Structure 1
Amino acid sequence: MSLEQEKTSSGEIVDSKVLKQLYGFVKPYKPQFYFLIFLTIALAILAPTRPYFIQVAIDDYVAVGDAAGLLKIIYLLVGLMIIQALVQWAHTYYSGWIGQVIIRDIRVKLYKHLLKLRLKFFDNTPIGRLVTRNISDIETLADVFSEGLAAIIGDLLQLVTILGVMFYIDWKLTLVSLCTLPLMIISTYVFKEKIKVTFNDVRNAVSNLNSFLQEHITGMNIVQIFNREDREFEKFKEINKEHRRAHIRSVLYYSIYFPVAEIIQAIGIGLVVWYGAVGVLGMDIEIGVLISFIMYLQLFFRPIRMIADRFNTLQMGVVSSSRIFRLLESKEHIANEGDYKPEKVSGNIKLENVWFAYVDEDYVLKDISFEVESGQTVALVGATGAGKSSIINLISRFYEINKGHISIDGHDIREFELDTLRKHIGVVLQDVFLFSNTIFYNITLGNPDITREQVMYAAELAGAKRFIERLPGGLDYNVMERGATLSVGQRQLISFVRAMVYNPEIIILDEATSSVDTETEELIQESIETMMTGRTSIVIAHRLSTIQKADKIIVLNKGEIVETGTHDYLLELGGYYTQLHQMQLKTMAI
C-alpha cells in the first residue's frame, strides 16, 4: 500500500463494517463485555442522583430545620458516592482489561498473518510501516474500549438521564439551561472535524517516521561509509518536523475548544442563576432546585465536551482498525493447500518451462528447463541479475512461478505441504541474518527437537566447531543484533550449520562462500563436499573455482539458459562460460 493510498483511506468516517470486525474479537469475552455495558448503564443512572438528593436535603430538611432527616440523607449520599466510586473503578478496570486482551489477540493474529505472507509482499512494503501496524495502530485500539465506544455510550445515556430528571423537576428552568446548547453542539462538531484531520496527519507522520528510522538504523554502515550523516540527518529533521506540526495542530484545536466550551457552560450557568434567582425571590422556585440545576448543568455539559474527544478516539481506533484489517485481509500469502508429506525425498528436481517475474510481466526467468537428478551437484553461474537466486527462491516456494512447473520426485512442489517441502531443503544464503541471541538459538531457531550434540556434529562437518568452542560460552555465546560480534565468515559458517542440522536431502548454497576469506573457504570446502555426498545440491557460485567438480553447470544470462555442461566441456566450448572464467582469472591475477 502506498502512502497516498494510506492518506486517502485514513479519511474514512466511522465504518460499521470495521466495528463489526472489531466485535468479532470481542465475542470470546462476551460476559465481560456485557458486564461492562451494565456498568456503563449503572454509571449513567447514578450520575444525576447526587444533585437530586442535595436538592431534597436543602428543600425538605435544611429549610425546615430537620436535623435528623438531614443526617439520614447525608448517610444516603455517602453510600451512593461509595457505590458510584466502586462502579467507576470496575468500569475503568474492565474497559481497560477488555481493550488489552483484544489488542493482544489482534496483535497475535496479525503477526501470525505476517509470518505467512510471501516475500514479494515484504519487497514492496516498508518494514517501518508494518511495525506501525503491529504496535502503534494496535495500541490505539485499546482506547476504543477504554475511552471510545463504552465511554460514548455512557456519556449519551448520562445526557438522556440528566435531561429527563431536569425536565421532571422544572421544565422551564431546563429550557433556560439549554439556551447555550446549540453553541456547544456547533463548537463540538467543528472541533471533531478538525481533530479528525489532524489525527490522520499524525498517523501518517508516525508511519513515515518509523519507516525512516528502521531503514536508516539498519543501513547505518552505508550512511557512514559514504559520509551521508549530515544529509540523512536533515531528512530526519524534516520528517520529525512534520510529525511535530501535526501534533501541534491537534494541541491548538484542544487549546481553543476547551476554553470555548467552558465559556459556553459558564454562560449557561449564568442564565440559570439569573432566571432561578428571580424565581426564588418570587417564591416560584425553591433554592434547592436552583442549586441542583447548577450541578445538573455541570454534569450535562461535561459529557458534551468530552464526547467530541471520545468520538475522535473512536474514529482513531476505527481508522487504525481499517488499516489493520486491510493487512489481515491481504491475499499476499503462499497458498498452503498441498497435503503431500513424505518422510524422505530422493531429491530429483525438475524445472519445466518456468517463467517468473517479480513485477507484472517483467520476466527475470524465461522458459527455464533443467533437471537435477538425485544426488547430483548442479551449479548455476552467470552475471549479476541473470536469475540464479530467483531459481532457488522458486524451488523453496518463497515466490510463486508465473508459468511452468517445478517438481521434486515427480510431485509438483505445490502438492507438498509447505512445512514439509522446506524441511527437506537446506538453504544457505549469501546475506546471513542472525538474531540477537545465542549461537545455539540461531542454529536451532528454538526447535526443541534439536540437541546440542546434533548441533556440534553439524558444526564439525561445516568446519565451525573450532571457532565456536573458542568463543566465551561456546554455543551459549550471544552474537548480538544481526551477529554484530562475529566476523562475516563466522556468520556464514553459522548459517551453514543452521542448514545442515536438519539433515536435509537437498542442499542449496547461494554464493555461500562469497563472503568468506580464502583461508576459511579452504577450511570448509572439503566439509561441503563431504556433506553434499548422497544429497542433491544446487550451488550458486561467484568463484568458478569452487564448482569445477559439479556434475552439471548451468550458465544463465538475462534470465535464460545459454549453456549447460561440465566445467571442462564448457571451457572447450569457448562460449559465455569461458568468457566468465577468463574474466575471473584476470581479476585474480590483478
Structure 2
Amino acid sequence: METNTGRPEDAAEVPNKKVARRLFQYALHAKGTFIAAIIALAIGVGAELASPFIAKMMIDDHMMGIENPYYETTEAGDGTVSYQGSQYKRGDRFTEGESRGDEVRVLQVGRGFVFVDQAVAVPEGDRSFENGMLTIRTAGGTDTYPAQRLSKQELFDFYEPEIPGIVQLILLYLLFLAVSIAMEFGKTYWLQSSANRVIQKLRLDLYAHIQRLPVHFFDNLPAGKVVSRVTNDTEAVKDLFIAVLSNFTTGIVYITGIYVALFILDPRLAAVSLFIVPLIVLWIYLYRKVATKYNTIIRSRLSELNAIINESIQGMSIIRVFRREKQTRQEFEELNGDYLKHQNRMLNLNSFTSHNLVNVLRNISFTVVIWYFGSSTIDGAASIISLGALYAFVDILGRLFQPITGMVNQLAVLDSAMVSAGRVFKLLDEPGENVTDGGMPRYKGDVKFDSVSFAYKKDFVLKNISFEAKQGQTVALVGHTGSGKSSIINLLFRFYDPQKGSITIDGQSVRDLPKQHIRQHMGIVLQDPYLFTGTIASNVSLGDERISRERVERALREVGADKILADLPGGFDEPVVEKGSTLSAGQRQLISFARALAFDPAILILDEATANIDTETEALIQSALNVLKQGRTTFVIAHRLSTIRSADQILVLHRGEIVERGDHDELMALGGRYFQMYQLQQGGGDSITPVTGKPESGFEARPVFGGAGGD
C-alpha cells in the first residue's frame, strides 16, 4: 500500500480560481433559472426582513403608542377614548383644523399604567407611583405629577383604538410571510433544477471526453477511478450548486439586506456591527487552507476504494480460487482506514470551528449592542433608540447569524466540491483524440507495414516490421507471449502510432485518415468476447441504426449461431446480463462473430477466437470463420497453430521482429521456429528443443487486445 505522499491524486488538481471560473461557465448553461432563483431569493429576503419592521411599528405605534400625548376633544368617533366622562384622542390622530383641548398622558409604571391629567415635560426616565403621585427621575432632576392608576378596563379602553392598526399589521405580516414561503419554494426549485441541468451537462461532457481519450490513458488509471470521477465527483459538484450555492447566495443576499435594514434603524450601531464581515471572510480563507488538503486526500481515497472494489468484483472468481479473500480484505481495510482517518480529521475541524465561530460572533455582536444602548441611556440619550427600534435591531441582528451559520456549515461541502470539480476538470483537460463526423467509403483492405518500429515507452517492442496483406488474404501472427502480435493490431487500429516507418491501407497512410474512419471498416473478434447488457440481437447490432433486424438475424444464421442459440427461451431476444455471464463461451463467441459479420468490415482481426472453445463447438466456429473471412483482409493472432494452416501468410514474431514468414507448408519445410512450435503442439516435441526465446530485459508490452496470456 502506498503512503499518502507520492500518490498523484493527493495533490491539488486545478487552481481554485480556474475551477471557480469554469464552474461559472457551466452555470451559464442554466442562467435563466439561476437568475429567477436569485430574484426569488431577493424578494423572499425582503419579505422576511419586513417582519422586524412590522414588529417595530406594532410596538412603537400601538403597544407603546398610548404613551404619546392625548388631547381632550368634543367630537366622539373613531380613535377617541372615553375616560371619566371626557373624550380624548392621540395627538397624531387629529385631522388638520380639528380643535384640541388640554394635553393628558398615559404612562407605564412597572406593570401598570397611570393617567396624568396634564402635560409631562420629560416622560423618559425612572418612573414610580405612590400615594397618587407620579415621580419621574432623570439626569436633569426629579418631576412629580398628580396621577390616577388605570384599571384593566380603563387601560383596554385606551388600547381599543389601537386594535384595528394591530390587526392590519398582523395581516400585513401574514402577507409577507406568504410571499416569503412562495419565494423560498421558487428559489429552492429553480436552484435545484438549475443544478441538475448543469450537472447533466458536466456529466455528458465528461463521459463524451472519456470516449475521446487515447487508449494508452487507461493503461495506468483503473476503471474504478474513472467511474468515481463521473459519479462521485460530479455528485459532489452537484452539492456545490444545490447546497453551497443556495446557502452562500442566500447568505450574501440576506446579510446585505440585514445590513441595509440595520442602517435604516440606526446607522451608528450598524457601522459598529460591520466588524462581522471581515471576520467571516478571514475564517473562510483560513478554513479552506486547511480543509482543501484533507478533502483532496479524501476524494483520492474514495476514488481508490472504487477502483479496488471494481477490481475485486471483476476478479472475484480468481480471488476465491486462490483463497486471496483475507489479503484482499486487508488491502481494502487499510485503504478504507486511511479514508476514515482523514474523514475524522475533517469532522474534528468542522466540529471545533463551525458552531463555535458563530457563537463567538453572536456573543460579541450582542455585547456591542448592549454596550451601545447602555451608554446611550447613561448619557441621557436613550430617546435616540425607541423600544421598538431596539427590539427590531436585536431581532434583525439575531437573524444575521442564520445565514452565517448556513454558510459556515457548508464550508466542508464547498471545499469538497471544489476539490471534486478540480478532479473533474483535470480529466476534461486531458488531451483527447479529435472526433470526425461522417465516414469514408469502404476500402478494399490492402494493408502494408513498411519498416515499422514502435515502443510504448523507451524500449522498442516492434522492430523494423515489414509485410503486405492483400484484400481477401488471411495473415496469421504467431509467436511467444510478448513477441509483439497484439502491438501490430494496436497500430493497425491506430490506438497507437509507430515512432518509425509507415502503415498504409490501400496505399494511403493511416496517419492521413481520421481514426474513426479507419475503424469504421474494421472488425474484431476477441478471445474472450465482450457482451453488453441487453439482448443477443442488440449485442450484434450494438444499437447501430444501419444494422436492421433482418441483417442481425441473417448474420447469426450465417455463422451458425441459430443452431446453438435455438434452445434459449428468448431466442435472439434472450436477455444478456453483464458480459454475457449466463451464456457459454461458445455462445458468446458466435455472437461476437455475428457482430463482426453484420458490420461487414473490410479488415477483420481474430484474436485467438477458438482458444477457449470445446472441440465440438470449434467445428461450428471454424465454419463460421470461413464465412467471416470471405472477401476480407483477415489478421489472425494464433496460439493454436492447427487453426491457421490455411492462412495465406504466416508471420513468426520473436522479440518484436519477424523471424520467419510464409504459408504453413513453406514454414514446415523450413524447419525453423514455426516447425518446432507446431511439432510441440502436435505432441511430437519430446525430443525437440523449442526455440522460445526470452524477451530482453526492460521489455514492456501493453496489449489492448492480447491473446492467451497476453502479448
Percent identical: 37
> Which residue, out of 303, 323, 326, partners 2:423?
323
Q: CA deviation at 1:419?
A: 3.6
Q: Deviations over 1:155-206 (max 9, x none)?
A: 2232233223223323454467667888777666554444433322321221
The equivalent residue for 1:146 is 242
Rounded Cα–Cα distance in structure 2 between residues aligned with 1:371 and 1:254: 67
Amino acid of the residue matched to residue 293 of structure 1? F
Q: 2-side partners of 1:188 and 1:371: how far apart? A: 66
User: How far did 1:395 drift?
Assistant: 1.3
Structure 2 counterpart of 1:88: 184
Q: Tell me, yes or no, if the aligned pair for 2:291 and 2:415 is still in contact at 8 Å.
A: no
- In the alignment, the residues of structure 1 paired with residue 178 and residue 230 of structure 2 have an alpha-carbon distance, to the nearest angstrom, of 40
Output the amino acid matched with 1:415. D
Cα shift readout 1:101-159 (whole Å, capped 9, x = no counterpart) = 01101111111111122211112211111111111111122223223345424322322
Q: In structure 1, which of residues 554, 564, 567 is the aligned counterpart of residue 651 of structure 2?
A: 554
Are residues 409 and 445 of structure 1, via their aligned partners in 2, closer, same or farther at CA, if it must alter by over 3 Å?
same
Give the structure-2-normalised TM-score. 0.77
Residue 440 of structure 2 corresponds to: 341
Q: d(CA) in 1 for partners of 2:476 and 2:458? A: 27
Deviation for aligned residue 1:363? 1.8
What runs of 5+ residues in structure 1 fail to find an aligned partner?
A: none
Match of 2:400 among 266, 287, 300: 300
What is the distance in 2 between the residues matched to 1:560 and 1:179?
76
1:568-579 matches, within 5 Å, as 568-579=665-676
How far apart are the structure 1 equivalents of 2:445 and 2:279? 77
Contact 2:354 2:409 in 1 (8 A): no
1:462 to 559, 570, 584: 559
Once residues 161 and 453 of structure 1 are traced to their aligned partners in structure 2, the CA distance between those partners, rounded to angstroms, is 68
**1:498–1:584 distance in 2 versus 1, CA, 3 Å:** same
Structure 2, unmatched stretches of 5+, are 66-158, 688-711
Matched, 1:167 2:168: no
Rounded to whole Å, the distance in 1 between the matches of 2:490 and 2:667 is 26
The separation in 2 between residues aligned to 1:328 and 1:182, in whole angstroms, is 36
Alignment partners' CA distance in 2, 1:271 and 1:21: 42
* 1:438-481 Cα shifts (integer Å, max 9, x gaps): 11111111123323332232223323221111111111112311
Q: Can you list the C-alpha shifts for 1:73-125, whole angstroms capped at 9, x where unaligned?
A: 21111111111111111111111111100110111111111112221111221
Equivalent residue, structure 2, for 1:34: 35
Rounded Cα–Cα distance in structure 1 between residues aligned with 2:552 and 2:272:
82
Q: What amino acid is the match of 1:330?
A: E
For 2:685 and 2:627, the matched residues in 1 are separated by 27
In 2: Cα distance, 1:547 partner to 1:205 partner: 48
Establish whether residue 209 from structure 1 lines up as the match of residue 209 from structure 2.
no
Match of 1:52 in 2: 53
* Aligned equivalent of 1:197, options 285, 293, 302: 293
C-alpha contact 1:25 1:102 (8 A) present in aligned 2: yes
Aligned to 1:435: 532
Aligned to 1:355: 453
Matches of residues 358-369 of structure 1 in structure 2 within 5 Å?
358=456, 360-369=457-466
Alpha-carbon spacing, 1:418–1:14, altered in 2? closer, same or farther (3 Å): closer
Task: Report matched runs for 1:261-410 at 5 Å.
Answer: 261=357, 263-264=359-360, 265-266=362-363, 268-269=365-366, 272-273=369-370, 276=373, 283-284=382-383, 285-333=385-433, 335-336=434-435, 341-342=440-441, 344-358=442-456, 360-410=457-507
Aligned residue number for residue 316 of structure 2:
220
Of 515-524 and 243-252, deviating more is: 243-252
Distance in 2, matches of 1:112 and 1:336, equals 10
Structure 2 residue aligned with 1:7: 10
Q: For this pair of structures, how many residues does the alignment match?
A: 584
Higher helix share: 1
SS at match of 2:659: strand
Matching residue's letter, 2:16? V
- Superposed displacement of residue 409, structure 1: 1.1
More deviation, 307-316/98-107: 307-316
**Deviation of 1:523 (Å):** 2.2
Distance apart, 1:37 and its partner CA: 3.1
| CA–CA separation in structure 2 for the residues paired with 1:159 and 1:193 | 24
Give SS of 2:576's match.
Answer: coil
> Is the deviation greater in 319-328 or in 107-116?
319-328
Identify which of 123, 126, 129 aligns with 2:222: 126
- Alpha-carbon shift at residue 280 of structure 1 (Å): 6.8
After superposition, give the CA deviation of every residue in 1:357-399 in whole Å (9 maximum; x if it has no partner): 22x2222111111000111111111111111111122212232
SS of alignment partner, residue 48 of structure 1 = helix
Query: Distance between the aligned counterparts of 1:587 and 1:82, measured in 2?
Result: 93
Q: Is the 8 A contact 2:523 2:603 kept in 1?
A: yes
CA contact (8 A) 2:439 2:520 kept: no
Q: Secondary structure at the match of 2:575?
A: coil
The amino acid across from 2:185 in the alignment is W
1:412 alignment partner in structure 2: 509
Mean alpha-carbon deviation: is it higher for 301-310 or for 493-502?
301-310
Contact kept? 1:37, 1:150, Cα under 8 Å: no
Deviation at 1:294, TM superposition (A): 2.1
Structure holding more strand per residue:
2
Q: Distance in 2 between matches of 1:185 and 1:448?
A: 56
2:625 alignment counterpart: 528
Q: Does structure 2 conserve the Cα–Cα contact (< 8 Å) formed by 1:426 and 1:499?
A: yes
